[in-house]
Structure 1
């Protein structure tokens, strides 16, 4: 039995990365003495409810970044994610000697010694993709100053980053990591929870699900526009959006809710559902759709596909691997999406072909 330090700023819902960390913890606790080092306290009940794990309080120990370190960052009006990661990294190096194995589930990290790092997308790859940028990342000079401050606090060594065993969530992410760090990677796809038993295809709702954090990069408004146009050919389809938002994305949720109301009652937005409730909805619907461009992996599309749905994703990112890079299921533009979705909905034979392909 190894003494394992699992490093993850938060395991709390929502977020695919937090879900991966929760399932890594679930996999480790039967055979190892695990301590979770985190920024946020670990609350087991919402983790189990949202991600489908079955963790218990006695399964692992916890270690929090000290309050004097977290007090100011937690009170900033912006997420300050990079600053918090820098402090987590620095604190990890203070305690790492007490453990046999260090396992970080939030991208590349300098633990002060060799460990395991699971990379969703490289934190220190700059400039950041446009999809990551928010209003508070401007002007560029201010962003560069923030980078320098966070990097100075982290005090990381690129050589130590490269020395870690590097796991990635997709081949697409692995290609970015190899170009950035110049190291070999192993693709380990995130775990997908078993779906609820699906009814026959003919009994499923002729509707779409879109699942994920309610956040601008998910582009739910784009999905609404696309499916509103598809309804011109298939007026019985519906869209259900399942997600969770926080204080940083509340305004975006308000915009989505207003748009949904303006488009009609065929759009429903549901929040904070249990894992069992989500599994039930996935089993009850025929189709899934995802909006984030260059999604690093895409837990939502993977879960929808596992539930037997036909799923469309933007052409780009690791999500293309989920749909087997099938051209009929990847779209570049709104027009492209409308045409491909409408074609499939009009053809039972094409639906059968795609269902067999995704189930393989």
Structure 2
């Protein structure tokens, strides 16, 4: 039995990354002495039941992250640059983890890439520190950061975190998609052990309604913000209606308070076929997915896209942007992968007007239970841990 510290800065929300963290803990807790290393007390019982389906007691160690001194400089830079001050908090958290690392037989990092003084198992959703250290934008990995202030801010934060690519050569890095693996490989080189292990998605609660009894509508999932391209998604459905299709759209996700959210509110208010659902209970999300025919994923360069897996598991036909994780989930099905608003409308029209195409696509989409089941994920993580301890 090894002493394992699972690193996760803030386990308080309900989301895909939190589900990955708790599933890793669940996979290791019977064979090892597992302790969560965090900066805030976790909402353990509620989260584990909702995201993993298992209620268990989680041992955790809360690190006191004092941002007072370095925060005065980085907070100013973060405010001026428009960056989230949370980045410096995470960087200082990693710095604190580095100091206590020798107390554990193995550390397991479950968010972004880290550089620690001993072999580590990392589950990388995005190689964030590597991107920032290289002067690249996390939201657009192929683009350089043009703002000098942001580059300075990012440099300070990655330095505080101890970012050092050569230190991971004895680590095992698990990534959430082949796309993320390729991106991570670009920064860490050909000699690092990097493997794709798709995150766990629980689909047992989905009981798809028969196709001819479903509503001829669309559902999109994700926080209402520019990166999710909510306005574009509304425009896609609007143009389909202009072409004669009787369809509608449900937008599931936090709307929030921002100029972009205000624009979405205004556009939706003028279109009675758009329903802004906001945050919904899990049962409501499952009902909407299993009773509607189509899904739209708006975010480009998404490393994975758990909602796309849920759409497929619910029996929907989803349309997704080209490149990155969502297209990978659909196994590169060209009929469902769009490059632009116009392309999305054209593809959707070809599907909506032809029942035979609908039936063919539904039967050809990959089985999500095969690649994304929790048991498969737990086995992969446990095997990687045994290689390192």
* Separation in 2, partners of 1:27, 1:321: 26
Q: Shift in Å at residue 145 of structure 1?
A: 1.1
Q: How does 1:81-100 map to 2 (within 5 A)?
A: 81-100=86-105
Residues 137 and 145 of structure 2 are in contact (CA less than 8 Å); yes or no, is this contact kept in structure 1?
Answer: no
2:352 maps to which of 342, 345, 353: 345
Residues 162 and 275 (structure 1 numbering): CA distance in 2 closer, same or farther, change over 3 Å? farther
The residue number in structure 1 matching 2:166 is 159
The residue number in structure 1 matching 2:341 is 334
Q: How does 1:56-71 map to 2 (within 5 A)?
A: 56=56, 59-69=57-67
* Separation in 1, partners of 2:48, 2:247: 32
Find out whether 1:128 has 2:126 as its counterpart: no
* Separation in 2, partners of 1:69, 1:130: 23
* Separation in 2, partners of 1:250, 1:42: 28
Residues 5 and 103 of structure 1 are in contact (CA less than 8 Å); yes or no, is this contact kept in structure 2?
Answer: yes
Residues 121 and 201 (structure 1 numbering): CA distance in 2 closer, same or farther, change over 3 Å? same
The residue number in structure 1 matching 2:365 is 358
Q: Shift in Å at residue 70 of structure 1?
A: 7.8
The residue number in structure 1 matching 2:42 is 42
The residue number in structure 1 matching 2:195 is 186
Find out whether 1:169 has 2:176 as its counterpart: yes
* Paired positions, count: 352
* Separation in 2, partners of 1:38, 1:68: 14
Q: Shift in Å at residue 304 of structure 1?
A: 0.9
The residue number in structure 2 matching 1:224 is 234
Q: Shift in Å at residue 14 of structure 1?
A: 4.6
TM-score, length-scaled by structure 1: 0.89
* Separation in 2, partners of 1:130, 1:4: 29
The residue number in structure 2 matching 1:201 is 211
The residue number in structure 2 matching 1:32 is 32
Residues 4 and 32 of structure 1 are in contact (CA less than 8 Å); yes or no, is this contact kept in structure 2?
Answer: yes
Q: Shift in Å at residue 243 of structure 1?
A: 1.0
Give the 3-state SS of the residue equivalent to 2:66 in structure 1: helix
Aligned-residue CA RMSD (Å):
2.6
* Separation in 2, partners of 1:282, 1:15: 17
Q: Shift in Å at residue 356 of structure 1?
A: 0.6
Residues 40 and 267 (structure 1 numbering): CA distance in 2 closer, same or farther, change over 3 Å? farther
Q: Shift in Å at residue 305 of structure 1?
A: 1.1
- The C-alpha deviation readout for 1:98-138, integer Å capped at 9, x for no partner, is 222211111211122111011122112234347359xxx98
Residues 98 and 116 of structure 2 are in contact (CA less than 8 Å); yes or no, is this contact kept in structure 1?
Answer: yes
Give the 3-state SS of the residue equivalent to 1:224 in structure 2: helix
Find out whether 1:233 has 2:243 as its counterpart: yes
Q: Shift in Å at residue 333 of structure 1?
A: 1.0
* Separation in 2, partners of 1:157, 1:231: 52
2:111 maps to which of 106, 115, 118: 106
Residues 310 and 355 of structure 1 are in contact (CA less than 8 Å); yes or no, is this contact kept in structure 2?
Answer: yes
TM-score, length-scaled by structure 2: 0.83
Residues 22 and 53 of structure 1 are in contact (CA less than 8 Å); yes or no, is this contact kept in structure 2?
Answer: no
The residue number in structure 2 matching 1:260 is 268
Q: Shift in Å at residue 242 of structure 1?
A: 1.0
* Separation in 1, partners of 2:234, 2:266: 12
* Separation in 2, partners of 1:244, 1:224: 16
- The C-alpha deviation readout for 1:151-181, integer Å capped at 9, x for no partner, is 2212232221333101111111111111211
Give the 3-state SS of the residue equivalent to 1:318 in structure 2: helix
Residues 15 and 212 of structure 1 are in contact (CA less than 8 Å); yes or no, is this contact kept in structure 2?
Answer: no
Moved over 6 A (4+): 73-76
* Separation in 1, partners of 2:7, 2:68: 16
Q: Shift in Å at residue 31 of structure 1?
A: 3.6
| Structure 2: runs of 5 or more not aligned | 368-389
The residue number in structure 2 matching 1:283 is 290
**Greater shift after overlay, 148-157 or 329-338?**
148-157
Q: Shift in Å at residue 218 of structure 1?
A: 0.8
Residues 304 and 42 (structure 1 numbering): CA distance in 2 closer, same or farther, change over 3 Å? same
